Structure 1
Amino acid sequence: MLVFVAILLCYSGFSQNPQQEIKEDFKPSSKNQPGQEYPQVNSQGYARFRIVAPAADSVRVSLGLGGQGGTKLEKNEEGVWMGTTAGPMDEGFHYYHVNVDGGTFNDPGAKNYYGSVRWESGIEIPAHDQEFYALKNVSHGSVQQILFSSPSTKTSRRAFVYTPPGYYENRDKNYPVLYLQHGWGEDETAWSNQGHANLIMDNLIAEGKTAPFLIVMTYGMTNEIKWGGLKDFDIKHFQTVLVDELIPYVDENFRTIADEEHRAMAGLSMGGMETKMITLNKPHVFSHYALLSGGTYSPKDLQNHKDLKLVFISCGSKERPDAVKNSVEELKAAGFNTVSYISEGTAHEFQTWRRSLHELAPLLFN
């Protein structure tokens, strides 16, 4: 059941065409700190790094969640280390960090994003379809932090809530809600910071392609699980936080349509695992289920889910697309409204999940 989570930690982010001549049209990554020229990316998807470390003996950049793979940098006479990836990287967002003489550090030129159970540097390879999550001159919703009481964990917990454009102006309208979970090693900031979920929704709503709804994003762990210990994760604790504590808080404090028909749950990778387990354990809480690189359902799994409106299952073309397609065919044959989506040219990474949310949102609550 946890096999797919391991894929998240093994992916290095490289495409399969490392032999082409590198074009010297490098530009700063859109994820750089203000005013920083490096790291840079070119039109082919190569990344180039520059680290100032005159006293260092070895500098290497480790790419991908978990830091697998690596680009060895070379030092010039001024003590500046430079290097370019061996091949082009997949389109979209990637985590990375810098290894200096065996120590792990973030790139001072790049912004930081929470992944690999730490704040990692981030780099963006421009995608051919990046317009769907671009910041545009449209009406924007808002993403706000909430703190809710969690008696089961004896603390207050944090979530972020996306409210669509018009939410605060049209106070007579109530909205459906999507509960959207992050992957292992990430937290409740991931879908906004790395995934651009709010911009995806703003653009879809502006184009008239989706009904407006709220998105709630919270931390999916109730105890800190170390790498290699995911087998010890017990869904019952987070299930209590989500179903018995967070959902009632959201329904009380936001204008929601507080019933099963207008409530959805989705998640990427480990968040997909959580989505599957909770929806199977609590069949009358949600009516729309979505697993994004997060496993599949079988007809037997859903035999008692009589009011189910939608099942959405997706992954990247470099993952296990056949498993997704086969599952959806079986579910359709059994009479379930099921949709599959395969992100072409991507693996277990945020471009897959950005695209998946873009495909999922218009299907929800219709």
Structure 2
Amino acid sequence: MKQFLSLVAVCIFSLSAWAQETVAVNTGDLISPEVKNQTVTFRLLAPEAREVWVETDFFEKSRQQTPLGEVEMAGRQRMEKGENGVWSYTVALPAPELHTYCFYVDGVRMLDPSNVYMLRDIATYMNYFLVDGALSENYFVREVPHGTVAKVWYPSPSLGMERRRMMVYTPAGYEEGTKRYPVLYLLHGAGGDENAWSELGRAVQILDNLIAQGKAEPMIVVMPNGNGAQQAVPGEYPNSMYKPSFMNPKTMEGSYEKAFPDIMNFVESHYRTINDKAHRAIAGLSMGGFHSLYISANYPDKFDYVGLFSAAINRESKGENTYIYKNLEEKLATQFAAAPKLYFIAIGNADFLYQDNVEFRQLLDRHGYKYEYAETDGGHEWRNWRKYLNNWLPKLFK
């Protein structure tokens, strides 16, 4: 018995020591990134490395040709090796924003082991840090009443699925009250999923803060999965442990737009919504902007507020759902005859979809359709989409 107890004690001690050692290996005393005196310093312990680079979203970018057109690529800077094998690079503090970065060690991409804060964009993980300021003040968790975010499963008979998942934000006080609320359907881009806006887009923090400030109306926000062949985020439904990819089946061939009433029917039968056009909005980024364009055009009596953030515009489709994309001008005529309260278009001046958006606005201008337009610096990136959401939400349901 004594031998058994001794063995148990040794095992417990070993596990405890291993856990403590793991913590020490992962973090130690190294601080990275360190924001201090209007600078930020990145550090990495890599004593055997020959060269280390840091790549961030705020270094000077390069432009490269890709199958999608000319796009901006993140910039890199070489780090300096110091004492004890610690590499470092210090730079002036960037503009207020959520900033992402990673390291390249002898050509191999890696994350910062000293920073536990990470984001996934499609199949790429990045570390991040926040710089506070006027442009980013709503991206932080503040001492304000917080809404609730739920992972909600719903049936989609139009897609032949018994269960699909979406994220649903309900404002602070929803659970305790009886009030009905307007609804925003917020759609992600290609390669994204139902987590994209709440994680990369800081949508929850933006909503909590704007509502608490009295700048935005309390609302329900539905963030669905826009990949019609997926039930949910890869890895979170049966037989889905595969690497996420940029383009997925049933995303831009009409299936999702055709099935969108499944989402609306579930939301309006399970939440206290105000079920009329004046209290519905739809918006999305990139592919989600494409979906918002065609969903609102095909269901012209459903949405008084439409937001196209760096939207994909043009699509040639083959198959049974091509009617979704055909006769767009006629559909827009019907939609704008009912005068939507706000049709909003925003894009960065370096976005590879910029010219498509110019041509779409020219189409609207030819017909005299009213819309609001915002143009920002930069390309096809989250710092623009967070900004558009932050600026657009206060305009809704007024």
Count of matched residue positions in the alignment of Structure 1 and Structure 2: 328
Aligned to 1:57: 50
Aligned to 1:265: 282
216-225 or 258-267: bigger deviation: 216-225
Aligned to 2:270: 253
Please state if 1:48 is matched with 2:41. yes
Amino acid at match of 1:259: D
Aligned to 1:359: 391
1:67 positional shift? 6.8
Is the partner of 1:159 in helix, strand or coil?
strand
Aligned to 1:82: 88
Q: Which one has the largest radius of gyration? A: 2
Aligned to 2:120: 114
Please state if 1:239 is matched with 2:257. yes
Query: Which of 302, 314, 318 is equivalent to 2:332?
Result: 302
8 Å Cα contact 1:114-1:187 kept in structure 2: no
Please state if 1:339 is matched with 2:333. no
Please state if 1:349 is matched with 2:349. no
Is the partner of 1:211 in helix, strand or coil?
coil
Measure, in 2, the Cα distance between the counterparts of 1:333 and 1:66: 31
Is the partner of 1:271 in helix, strand or coil?
helix
Measure, in 1, the Cα distance between the counterparts of 2:263 and 2:356: 32
Please state if 1:94 is matched with 2:95. no
Measure, in 2, the Cα distance between the counterparts of 1:77 and 1:106: 21
Aligned to 1:284: 301
Is the partner of 1:303 in helix, strand or coil?
helix
100-109 or 249-258: bigger deviation: 100-109
Measure, in 1, the Cα distance between the counterparts of 2:49 and 2:149: 42
Amino acid at match of 2:46: A
Please state if 1:218 is matched with 2:224. yes
1:238 positional shift? 2.4
Aligned to 2:170: 163
Amino acid at match of 2:373: S
Query: Which of 25, 29, 33 is equivalent to 1:39?
Result: 33
Measure, in 2, the Cα distance between the counterparts of 1:209 and 1:294: 25
Is the partner of 2:138 in helix, strand or coil?
helix
Measure, in 1, the Cα distance between the counterparts of 2:140 and 2:28: 18
Amino acid at match of 1:294: A
| Cα distance change, pair 47–323 in 1 and its aligned pair in 2 (3 A) | farther
8 Å Cα contact 2:138-2:206 kept in structure 1: yes
Aligned to 2:65: none
Is the partner of 2:261 in helix, strand or coil?
helix
| Cα distance change, pair 186–121 in 1 and its aligned pair in 2 (3 A) | farther
8 Å Cα contact 1:311-1:338 kept in structure 2: yes
Give the alignment's TM-score, normalised by structure 2: 0.69
8 Å Cα contact 2:227-2:248 kept in structure 1: no
Please state if 1:186 is matched with 2:203. no
| Cα distance change, pair 295–176 in 1 and its aligned pair in 2 (3 A) | same
- Structure ranking higher on relative contact order (CA contacts 8 Å, 6+ apart): 1
Amino acid at match of 1:311: Y
| Cα distance change, pair 90–214 in 1 and its aligned pair in 2 (3 A) | same
Query: Which of 108, 114, 117 is equivalent to 1:103?
Result: 108
Amino acid at match of 1:303: A
Measure, in 1, the Cα distance between the counterparts of 2:36 and 2:334: 51
Measure, in 1, the Cα distance between the counterparts of 2:343 and 2:152: 29
Measure, in 1, the Cα distance between the counterparts of 2:255 and 2:140: 36
1:38 positional shift? 0.7
The structure carrying a bigger helix percent of its residues is 2
Aligned to 2:68: none
Measure, in 1, the Cα distance between the counterparts of 2:342 and 2:72: 33
Cα displacement string for residues 106-141 of structure 1 (whole angstroms, at most 9, x for unaligned residues)? 222231112142332223343433333443333322
Aligned to 1:28: none
1:35 positional shift? 8.9
| Cα distance change, pair 331–73 in 1 and its aligned pair in 2 (3 A) | same
Measure, in 2, the Cα distance between the counterparts of 1:232 and 1:258: 28
8 Å Cα contact 1:341-1:359 kept in structure 2: no
| Cα distance change, pair 91–74 in 1 and its aligned pair in 2 (3 A) | same
8 Å Cα contact 2:147-2:171 kept in structure 1: yes
| Cα distance change, pair 246–231 in 1 and its aligned pair in 2 (3 A) | closer
Report matched runs for 1:67-78 at 5 Å: 68-78=74-84
8 Å Cα contact 2:167-2:194 kept in structure 1: yes
Amino acid at match of 2:33: P
Amino acid at match of 1:156: R
Aligned to 2:320: none
Measure, in 2, the Cα distance between the counterparts of 1:35 and 1:277: 52
Is the partner of 2:175 in helix, strand or coil?
coil
Give the alignment's TM-score, normalised by structure 1: 0.74
348-357 or 246-255: bigger deviation: 348-357
Measure, in 1, the Cα distance between the counterparts of 2:162 and 2:217: 35
8 Å Cα contact 1:315-1:321 kept in structure 2: yes
Is the partner of 1:203 in helix, strand or coil?
helix
RMSD, aligned CA: 3.6
5+ long unaligned stretches in structure 2: 1-26, 58-70, 231-243, 315-327
Cα displacement string for residues 244-275 of structure 1 (whole angstroms, at most 9, x for unaligned residues)? 33222211211112333322110122321222
| Cα distance change, pair 43–300 in 1 and its aligned pair in 2 (3 A) | farther
